[in-house]
Amino acid sequence: MRKLVLSIVIALVFVGVGIAGWMWWNDAQRSARNAEWRQQLQNESKRDEIIASLREELKAEPGRSDTRALLGEALAFAGKMSDAAVELRAAAKAEPGDVHVRRVLAQVCLRLDLVDEAVKCLEETLVHVDEGERPAVELDLARVCMERYRGSAKDEDFRAARNYFQDARHHPATEAEAMDGYAMLWLMKGPNSDLDKGIATYRELLAKYPAYSRADKIRELLDNFDHPGAGKDAPPPDAKPPEEKPKEKSGDG
C-alpha cells in the first residue's frame, strides 16, 4: 500500500511539474509575441490584423490583462481613443502596479480631454513606480497639469505643473524635456506668466543641451524675442506640450 501511495504521489508531482512547465513556456511564447506585435503597432498595414487577433484572444481568455492592455495600445495607435480607454482602464484595474499601462491610459485620457482622469491616473501611478520609472511619470504629470492649467488658469494647477517639472529636472534622463516644459509654462498666457523666467530657462537649456531635439525651434523663438522692436511684446509660443503616441515597450505588460 505504501508503495502504491508513493507511486501516486510521485506521478502527481511529475504531472504538476509538467503543467507548470507548459504554462511557463506558453506565457513566455505569448510575451515574446506580444512584444513583437507592440513593435509593429506603428505599421498601419499590420495594425488591423493585430487588433482582430487580440479581440479573438480576449473572447477565449477574457481575464488576460496583458492582452487587454496591448489591445488598448493598438486601438490608441489606430486613433480609436474611446475604445482604447475602455480596454486600458480594465487592464489598469486588473494590474494596478503596471506603470506602462497607466502611462498609456493617461495619454489616451488627455487626447479625449479627460484631463482630470489623466492627472488622477498618473498620481496613482507614482505609488507603484521604482526610482528608475519615477522621473518619466513626474514629467508626464507636469505636462498634464500644465494642460489643465491652460483650461483653468487656476494657481493650484500652475503650482502642480511647476513642481512636477522641477522634480523631473533633478534626473538626467528627463532634465532637458522638463526644462523645456518649465519654460513653456512661464510663457503661457495667464496670471502667472513671466517672460523673463521662461526666456532664462530656455537659454539655460540651450547652454546645457545644445543638441536637444527642439533646440532649433527654441533658438528661433529666442531670436524673435531678441529682435529689435519685438522684445517682450513678441507673442508667446504655443505652450501645448508635443502630442505623444503611446510609447513602445520592450517587454510584455
Tell me, what CATH number does 101's domain have? Answer: 1.25.40.10
Q: How many domains does the chain have?
A: 2
Residue 105 shares a structural domain with residue 184: no
Residue 162 shares a structural domain with residue 117: no
H or E element that contains 41? none
Residue 236 shares a structural domain with residue 152: yes
Counting every residue written for the chain, the total comes to 253
Residue 189 placed within a domain: yes
Residue 151 shares a structural domain with residue 108: no
What is the domain extent for residue 211? 145-242
Residue 22 placed within a domain: no
Residues sharing a CB contact under 8 Å with residue 184, sequence separation 6 or more, in sequence order:
146, 198, 237, 239, 241
Residue 32 placed within a domain: no
Q: Of the candidates 103, 128, 153, which is a domain's last residue?
A: 128
One digit per residue, the tens of pLDDT, for the chain of length 253 reads 665 555 655 555 455 445 445 444 455 666 677 677 777 777 788 888 889 988 998 898 888 889 899 999 999 999 999 999 999 999 999 998 899 999 999 999 999 999 999 999 999 999 999 999 999 999 999 999 999 999 999 999 999 999 999 999 999 999 999 999 999 999 999 899 999 999 999 999 999 999 999 999 999 999 988 875 544 444 455 445 445 555 544 444 3
Distance CA 61, CA 94 (A): 14
Q: Of the candidates 101, 128, 155, which is a domain's last residue?
A: 128
Residue 153 shares a structural domain with residue 231: yes
Residue 91 shares a structural domain with residue 162: no
Residue 227 shares a structural domain with residue 164: yes
Residue 118 shares a structural domain with residue 92: yes
- Whole-prediction pTM: 0.75
Residue 1 placed within a domain: no
